[in-house]
């Protein structure tokens, strides 16, 4: 087997190992490390949670003295800055690693090639770009935040076969079956935040938390609420909800008093500008603000108006749409309400990547063309 083939095979193992941190590493990326020496796997580790040791240090701990003279396979450039944990470059150098094979450089401006430079300066051979596209896709949410200053945005919705999310009177519980609803819990568990609108809160009073499945953390629940209409006893605020309300920058005594009441309940408040001539928030600015809070991946679970506004603003990277084997007809409520009429030539384009059965329903996964092009997976 050639060195190139061995590097590719080991990097595939690294990527699979790194994915174990899918639900727990936010806001950090998913990273794993395998240390090889004289054809033997002497150390394996992955990053399991922000604030805990990084993958390289876990693998070096497992390898002990066997790391000296070995090769470290890592799916992301080692960090070279002091964060909640010490730099991994120092650990690799001190352990006597002679060669580092990485999938990609770290888009974090605090690293951005600096890790590779330190390793090279210490006499360590550095090879980068092994399965780079696969590595970038694995950490697409982190890469998106670091390179666009916005999170990766997934929109989830459920509908009948004719695309209706509720009956004419708003009744919708439940459209899909148990298996689909459990699948949604896995989607939430992997997200930094679950976002909805004040309309959904007032109509349904959901918690939007993770339940039914094992999870390492609860995502932050984000409510878009320009006028600050959220009730103080809303279910999304109570228990372990970790709630954030995004409201307009407009101030009044009544609004400031409401903000104080919400903060006393543990609610985080973020404020962004409204669209000119409207009381609707600028959704692009909302996403920039969420990125400032270090949210990598935001899942939108909202009504037709807010969901449609995200699509109309070209801010959705991924669609996850569940369809049940039922029909409500043209009086039922649709999936996406746009603020303006759209010509056929101006329709929003998504590339369908997967269609699968989930219990008695089926799920369609589709991605924005530009996102797929950016990550080289078209």
The helix (H) or strand (E) run that includes residue 264 is: helix 253-264
How many Å apart are CA 322 and CA 189, to the nearest integer? Answer: 18
Rounded CA separation 184/176 (Å): 11
The Cα–Cα gap between 100 and 106 comes to 14
- Beta bridge pairs of residue 232: none
In this structure, are residues 10 and 36 in contact, taking their beta carbons and an 8 Å threshold?
Answer: yes
If one counts every other C-beta atom within 10 angstroms of the C-beta of residue 205, the result is 12
Report d(CA 30, CA 374) in Å as an integer. 19
Q: Which of the residues are catalytic?
A: 56
* Residues in contact with 193: Cβ distance below 8 Å, sequence separation at least 6, in sequence order: 151, 219, 220, 221, 222, 244, 290, 295, 297, 298, 299
The CA distance from 166 to 164, in Å, is 6
* 5 Cβ neighbours under 8 A, 6+ residues apart: none
């Amino acid at each position: 087997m050639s060195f190139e083939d061995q590097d590719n095979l080991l990097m595939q193992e690294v990527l699979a190992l790194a994915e174990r941190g899918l639900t727990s590493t936010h806001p950090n990326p998913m990273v794993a490390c395998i240390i090889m020496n004289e054809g033997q796997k002497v150390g394996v580790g992955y990053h399991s949670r922000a604030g805990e040791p990084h993958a390289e240090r876990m693998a070096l701990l497992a390898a002990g003295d066997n790391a000296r003279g070995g090769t470290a396979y890592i799916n992301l450039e080692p960090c070279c800055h002091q964060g909640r944990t010490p730099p991994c470059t120092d650990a690799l150098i001190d352990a006597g690693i002679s060669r580092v094979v990485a999938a990609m450089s770290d888009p974090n401006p605090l690293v951005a090639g600096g890790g590779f430079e330190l390793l090279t300066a210490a006499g360590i051979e550095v090879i980068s770009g092994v399965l780079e596209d696969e590595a970038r896709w694995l950490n697409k949410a982190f890469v998106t935040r670091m390179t666009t200053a916005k999170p990766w945005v997934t929109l989830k919705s459920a509908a009948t076969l004719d695309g209706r999310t509720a009956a004419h009177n708003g009744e919708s519980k439940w459209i899909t079956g148990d298996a689909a609803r459990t699948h949604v819990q896995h989607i939430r568990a992997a997200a930094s935040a679950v976002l909805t609108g004040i309309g959904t809160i007032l109509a349904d009073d959901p918690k939007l938390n993770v339940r039914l499945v094992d999870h390492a953390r609860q995502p932050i629940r984000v409510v878009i609420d320009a006028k600050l209409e959220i009730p103080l006893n809303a279910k999304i605020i109570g228990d372990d909800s970790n709630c954030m309300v995004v409201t307009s920058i407009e101030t009044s005594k009544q609004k400031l008093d409401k903000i104080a009441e919400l903060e006393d309940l543990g609610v985080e408040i973020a404020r962004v500008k409204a669209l000119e001539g409207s009381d609707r928030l600028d959704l692009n600015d909302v996403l920039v603000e969420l990125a400032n809070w270090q949210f990598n991946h935001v899942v939108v679970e909202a009504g037709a108006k807010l969901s449609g506004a995200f699509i109309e603003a070209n801010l959705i990277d991924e669609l996850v749409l569940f369809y049940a084997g039922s029909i409500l007809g043209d009086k039922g409520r649709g999936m996406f309400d746009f603020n303006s009429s759209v010509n056929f030539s101006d329709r929003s384009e998504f590339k369908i990547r997967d269609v699968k059965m989930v219990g008695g329903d089926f799920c369609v996964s589709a991605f924005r063309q530009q996102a797929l092009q950016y990550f080289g997976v078209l």
